[in-house]
Amino acid sequence: MKDAVYCRAMESLCRQSAAFRPLDSWRLLAEAEMWHHRALEEITPRAVDCSSIRPTDVVVRTESTSIQATTSARRAQAI
């Protein structure tokens, strides 16, 4: 993750430098684009790993937990 943060920082630095150095802006913007793609390469494998969990699994677990908690609370009030 540190590599992705570093790539984003370098991208930002290149873009800021391009704003203050108009004669070199074409080169700096190209370098910023390169850093942007490197950051995406760092992030993509992590995103694929996280997408293996289906959103419906998480919702079902959450709903069943809240239903169980509500049922337990009602039982406690009835007693």
In tens, the pLDDT along 52-77 reads 666 555 554 555 555 555 555 566 66
Q: What is the pLDDT of residues 31-44, one digit of tens each?
A: 999 999 999 998 88
What's the DSSP call for residue 22?
A: G
The model's pTM is 0.58
Domain containing 63 equals 2-78
Which residue has tokens 């942007």? Answer: 36
User: What is the total count of domains within the chain?
Assistant: 1
Q: Choose among 43, 36, 41: nearest CA to 1.
A: 43
